[in-house]
Amino acid sequence: MFRVVIFVVAIVGIFAGALVYGGEQLGAWDDPDPPPPSNLEPITRQEEKDKGESPSAVAGTPSKLSPAKARWIRAANALCRRASEDMGNYEQPETLGDAEKLVAELQRKNQQYNDAFARIVPAREDRRQVAQLLELFEKDERLVAALLTALRDGDAGALVELNDRLTSVTQQETDLLLGLGATDCDVGLVVPSY
C-alpha cells in the first residue's frame, strides 16, 4: 500500500539478489537512475487579476472540503504517518535467511496497512479513485508475494523485474493518494534506519 513499505521490501529484495548473484551482475553498485516522472500535473497558482478577489474565486475552486473528504484525508494521512514510523525500525539483513524473514514480515505489514486503509470510508465523490487504489493495493500484495517466492528460490533476475513492477505500482498508488489529498502518503524513498 504505502511507498515506504513497498520500497523497504524492494530494497531487501535487491539486497538479497546481490547476495545471491553478486552486486556487479545486478548493477547494484551502479549510480541510481532518477525517479520516474509522476503523472500528476504540477500545482501552479494563477496570479490574481484583481487584488480584491480571493484566490479561490480566481481559480474557480471551492474554498472548503466536504466533511467526509476532510475526514478521509485526516485518516489516510494518519495511517501513512504511522506506516512511515513503523518502517524505520528494521535492521539490515546480513544473510538470505534474514532477508527472507524480513520480506515475510514486511509482506504481513503491507497487508495490514492495506486492510486498514480499505476500512477508511471515502467521500462519495472519491469512491471511484479509492476503488482504483484498492485494486493497486491488491496488485502490490501479489507482487510482494512473488518477490518473496523469488527470494526463496534465489532468482535474482525475478527480484529485479519484480522490483521494477512494484516501483511502478507504488508510483501509481502515490499519484492517486496525492490526487485525493493524502499529502502525507508521499514519503518518497524511505529506507529503514540501519
Which residue did the predictor score with more confidence, 162 or 39? 162
Residues 69-109 pLDDT 10s: 999 999 999 998 898 888 777 777 888 888 888 888 888 98
Could you tell me the pLDDT band of residue 8, with boundaries at 50, 70 and 90?
low
Residues 24-59 pLDDT 10s: 444 444 455 555 554 555 555 555 444 444 444 434
* Least confident stretch, 48-57, 113-122, 147-156: 48-57
* pLDDT(11) > 90: no
How would DSSP label each residue in 70-132?
HHHHHHHHHHHHHHHHHHTTPPPP-SHHHHHHHHHHHHHHHHHHHHHHHTSPPPGGGHHHHHH
Could you tell me the pLDDT band of residue 186, with boundaries at 50, 70 and 90?
confident
115-120's contacts with Cβ under 8 Å and 24+ in sequence apart are 116/79, 117/1, 117/76, 117/79, 120/72, 120/75, 120/76, 120/79
* pLDDT(68) > 90: yes
Which residue did the predictor score with more confidence, 166 or 131? 131
Whole-number pLDDT of residue 117? 93
What is the CA 193 to chain-centroid distance, rounded? Answer: 18
